[in-house]
Structure 1
């Protein structure tokens, strides 16, 4: 049976790597992204991947996407909640409430909105896998990035609670926690922190790598490999788990 997969923020970075890996494995894939240019590039590279422009923090947008995707796919086997934002960088007393709320809306509320639509479908067919992207920030906290860390901790609690609710219906829920993933998003994170701390971006990059046992950045494809596994029958008794793909974090990076 061909897997039916929906992925948020699938136009670039981790989301694109996940979409490509599922598609290459033979799955039917429907992605969404807020970035129309990213979706256009996906259409040019892989026209077999269906795309929709969606703001996942907007319930009407999410409902429209699910209506279209479920009609297109005829069901749903795997949902990957990948959408997120780095949020503001700075000490907590410097942050604005609207920036805090926007970060939680994209990183956390969007996952709720998508699962709210996916859960009845998966329960009805008594099968499915929900994969929520958290972060090592959701395991250790993250100085200068409190909204992001708060959201990613909440994702883990949300995921474990979903596993309890959905397990009796044969539906699994797991959280994947990427470490420092190479790419333009990580470059933006490091640049913002470097500016906040008045140090060079090379200093920040070095600190991230030195906090790991395997001293390099994670490749997006390595996150994708874990998602494909968690979506497959090989992980049929894996649920409620928080799985880091981070080269083993020894001491989490905290900028001073």
Structure 2
């Protein structure tokens, strides 16, 4: 079994790669972070690829096709985008966030679909966000892109289902780690708050009163790719401790 994970050299993507590796998959990981890729286990196949670059993705999938079939594609690449009121978001920052976060998911699906159709099976797992379910103040580009990922997933499930291919979206909540730390600090700056108050606001906005771990997301990805989820497709599955409040406050 073979899995391809975009943005797999750190964070959620790295946790996914570890989990799929433990489940016996041949793991292929792409990223733009050369140093992070170099630190990945030698048993993984790693490639420096911008998942939002069509030419690079076409070459990548050509390599995967040469290696054999592709069983699972995890469209995980994305960027946080700016934290600002909508009137303060620069057009270039909007375009960059949407191009990477939604565009990379589209390209992953575009190139994975023909390979999976030829095999008559496959699973595409897209990383969305609770921001793609509720919307989030001060995160307009990111939220719009993550809503778009869900729309893409629903369409993929309908188009590809007749070929034995499933598509689902995972919506992480606030995930412990460096990326979320940056979000917390930027939001604190915008709201004139301290970082810890923003953190507590996110945690208290869930029924479980907690952030989640990258491993929690990875476990769900492996399940969605497994035979245990053989009839699960077109679903939006949150792994977030149950978000209740989309506008965290202290």
Normalising by structure 2, what TM-score? 0.98
Q: In the alignment, which of 58, 62, 84 is matched to residue 90 of structure 1? A: 84
Provide Cα deviations, 1:116-159, integer angstroms capped at 9, x if missing partner: 11001111111000000000000000100000000000111110
1:75 alignment partner in structure 2:
69
Question: Unmatched 5+ residue regions in structure 2?
Answer: none
In 2, Cα distance between equivalents of 1:70 and 1:120: 10
User: Are positions 1:152 and 2:146 aligned together?
Assistant: yes
1:117 alignment partner in structure 2:
111
Normalising by structure 1, what TM-score? 0.96
2:157 alignment partner in structure 1:
163
CA drift of 1:70 comes to 2.6
2:15 alignment partner in structure 1:
17
2:60 alignment partner in structure 1:
65
- Report the count of equivalent residues: 250
Provide Cα deviations, 1:37-58, integer angstroms capped at 9, x if missing partner: 110111xxx1101100011111
Runs of 4+ in 1 over 4 A off after TM superposition: none
2:5 alignment partner in structure 1:
7
What secondary structure sits across from 2:133 in the alignment?
Answer: helix
- Equivalent residue runs for 1:35-54 within 5 Å: 35-42=33-40, 46-54=41-49
1:29 alignment partner in structure 2:
27
Q: In the alignment, which of 177, 182, 185 is matched to residue 183 of structure 1? A: 177
In 2, Cα distance between equivalents of 1:236 and 1:190: 37
Kindly indicate whether the alpha-carbon contact (under 8 Å) linking 2:202 and 2:249 is maintained by their aligned counterparts in 1.
Answer: no
CA drift of 1:23 comes to 0.5
In 1, Cα distance between equivalents of 2:65 and 2:192: 48
Question: Unmatched 5+ residue regions in structure 1?
Answer: none
In 2, Cα distance between equivalents of 1:236 and 1:25: 16
Provide Cα deviations, 1:51-100, integer angstroms capped at 9, x if missing partner: 0001111111111211122323x010000000111001100111111100
Kindly indicate whether the alpha-carbon contact (under 8 Å) linking 1:197 and 1:255 is maintained by their aligned counterparts in 2.
Answer: no
RMSD: 1.1
